[in-house]
Amino acid sequence: MNNRYSRQELFSSIGKDGQQRISNKHVLIIGVGALGSGSAEALVRAGIGKLTIVDRDYVEWSNLQRQQLYSEEDAKNRLPKVIAAKNRLSAVNSSVAIEAIIADASVSELEDWAKNVDLIIDATDNFETRMIINDVSQMYSVPWIYGACVGSYGISYTIIPEKTPCLSCILETVPLGGLTCDTAGIISPAVNMVVSYQISEALKILVGDFESLRNKLVSFDLWKNQFSAIQVDKLKNEDCPSCGKERSYPYLSFENQTKTAVLCGRDSVQIRPSIPTVRDLEALEQLLAKQGGTVQRNPFLLSYSVPSHRLVLFKDGRVLVHGTKDISEAKALYHRFLG
């Protein structure tokens, strides 16, 4: 046990002092799918003091191709991801305190969790949660590391409150829709690459070496052999409502959140996006038809049926998720297929 971290301590940028700092830090990971499971294992092996992992989903067979913490037994038992992850992580390093939370990462929960952590790692599947993380990060001055991947593409960016542009500065508006792993697929090397970028930045923050942070938005496509690193310092906006001089933290307010409601007398949940939108039903039909479910479309709506559930999409952005009264489950299906 005494030489457990000896190779990491031999790395001069960490050393024994840096290792001690790592062992005193608390990291929050939102989502323990592909990125989250990879990041969690890397941090536990590195000797993080405490790790809090949050996810609302359970292990499925399709996860095993890229989500490295999970086994066939976990998929057979449909074990909640955070429980399966904690079991594996505790076996890897029993000295790390691991808190596993089965929950949907909403505003109130994220505000509560962020008060007691040193770093947040984004491993979510949707931009609404990322923008909430972004506002919470600015409110409580907690660094966070954005990461995403789909197909052979990946992207990562590190956000330090008061120093770097925030995600809102860069995106300006929340993108709605887009490709997901369930609609465009994914290869595991893309996951591993994003995890490498996120964890290397995380270690720099945890040991206090902020001067070595990348300070660029990195993206790549491994299949197309493309890579870019964009300097984004000039995008910091003094009028940004999330990190500017007069902050209102807009993504923490109710009007900017996706609205959900269980329909009275029906086994269904209605979901409305926070920003008014017009859906291209024809394009969605082509996208969803590749997933193996049943797609039907008329001029007014699109119906997409998968085992046990049916999603009905309207042009005005509303979605009815039939087959559940569980809002968390409905949102998981919504983000899985619609981004």
181 is catalytic: yes
| DSSP bridge partners of 122 | 30
How far is the CA of 6 from the CAs of 1, 11, 19, in angstroms?
10, 9, 10
d(Cα 34, Cα 151) in Å, to the nearest integer?
Answer: 13
| DSSP bridge partners of 27 | 51, 119
d(Cα 170, Cα 155) in Å, to the nearest integer?
Answer: 13
Amino acid at 80: P
Annotate 148-187 with DSSP letters as a single string: EEEBTEEEEEEE-TTTS--HHHHHSS-------HHHH-B-
**Neighbouring C-beta atoms of residue 273, cutoff 10 Å:** 20
> For residue 69, which of 60, 81, 57 has the smallest C-alpha distance?
81
Quick one: residue 289, left, alpha or beta (phi over 0 = left, psi -120 to 50 = alpha)? alpha
Residue 101: CA atoms inside 13 Å, Cβ hemisphere, count? 17
Active-site residue, from 181, 240, 243, 264: 181
Catalytic residues: 181
